[in-house]
Amino acid sequence: MIRNMFQIILLIAFIPMFIFMYFMLVFSPFMAVSEIAAIINYEAPKDNVYFVLLFFISLIMYLSVRIQSFRKIYERYPVLWPLSQMIFISLVGLAFGMFFMNLWAENEVISKPVAIILTMISFVLARVFMSYWYEKYPISTKMFK
């Protein structure tokens, strides 16, 4: 009885964090691309909060898979887990791309063309890793059963 009440309280507290995480996960790649474009256009650095955001998102994703009562979200909506993985890996590439652009815009450690090339390489490497990952571990609806 007490354990069930504790799980319900945790679930009620977790659902808003999960919804906020998915909201940020879906919209953060668009924000990162627009900030990278703004760095190129205005030649001024921007705050790279995406590594902190990736930590928060990965913590929520870990909890949502690790705890049985939270995992029911993925059992009910099986498309959420592969979607979150794809967006997360893309966001890692964009976060590194933003890091390289800030290296150029803030301290001019590297030149502008090199920063743009490194940004594109980081995003392409993230996509190549995603292709490798899904070739090795194909998406399956039986993954949580």
pLDDT at 144 over 60: no
Distance CA 101, CA 93 (A): 12
Q: What is the pTM of this model?
A: 0.86
In contact, 115 and 122? CB cutoff 8 Å: no
Tell me what pLDDT residue 116 has. Answer: 95
Cα end-to-end span (Å), the chain: 25
- Spell out the domain ranges in the chain: 2-136
**Which residue do the tokens 């800030």 mark?**
102
pLDDT tens digit string along 95-111?
999 999 999 998 888 99
Q: What is the mean pLDDT of residues 1-19?
A: 81
Expressed in percent and rounded to 5, the helix, strand and coil fractions of the chain are: 85, 0, 15
pLDDT tens digit string along 58-94?
999 998 888 888 888 888 888 888 899 999 999 999 9
**Within 10 Å of residue 111's Cβ, how many Cβ atoms?**
10
Mean pLDDT of the chain: 89
